[in-house]
Amino acid sequence: MEVKFLGTVSPYCKDEKNCPGYLVTNGKEKILLDCGNGVTRNLKLPDDLENLTIIISHLHKDHYGDLLTLGYASYVFHNLGYLPNRIKVYIPEPDMYTVSEGYTDDEGWGASRLVKKALIDYEFLQKFGEEQYFEFITYDENTELEIEELNITFAKNPHQINTYSTKIVDKNKTFVYSGDTGYNGNSLVRFAEDADILLCEATFLKGQTRTTDNHLYAYEAATIAKDANVRQLVLTHFFPEIEREDYVKEAKTIFENTTYAEEGKVLKLGGI
Q: Which residues bind Zn ion (CB under 5 A)?
A: 10, 60, 62, 180
Of 30 and 60, the one with the shorter C-beta distance to Zn ion is: 60
Residue 154: CA count within 13 A, CB half-sphere: 24
What is the C-alpha to C-alpha distance for residues 115 and 109, in angstroms, rounded to an integer?
Answer: 10
- The amino acid that residue 148 corresponds to is E
**CB 63, min distance to Zn ion, A:** 6
Of 173 and 244, the one with the shorter C-beta distance to Zn ion is: 244
Cis peptide before 92 (omega within 30 of 0): no
**CB 27, min distance to Zn ion, A:** 29
What is the C-alpha to C-alpha distance for residues 182 and 203, in angstroms, rounded to an integer?
Answer: 10
**CB 50, min distance to Zn ion, A:** 28
Of 62 and 263, the one with the shorter C-beta distance to Zn ion is: 62
What is the C-alpha to C-alpha distance for residues 227 and 263, in angstroms, rounded to an integer?
Answer: 28
**CB 267, min distance to Zn ion, A:** 20
What is the C-alpha to C-alpha distance for residues 24 and 199, in angstroms, rounded to an integer?
Answer: 12
Query: 3-class SS at 123?
Result: helix
Q: Are 23 and 47 in contact (CB under 8 A)?
A: no
Of 224 and 269, the one with the shorter C-beta distance to Zn ion is: 224
Of 48 and 180, the one with the shorter C-beta distance to Zn ion is: 180
**CB 127, min distance to Zn ion, A:** 22
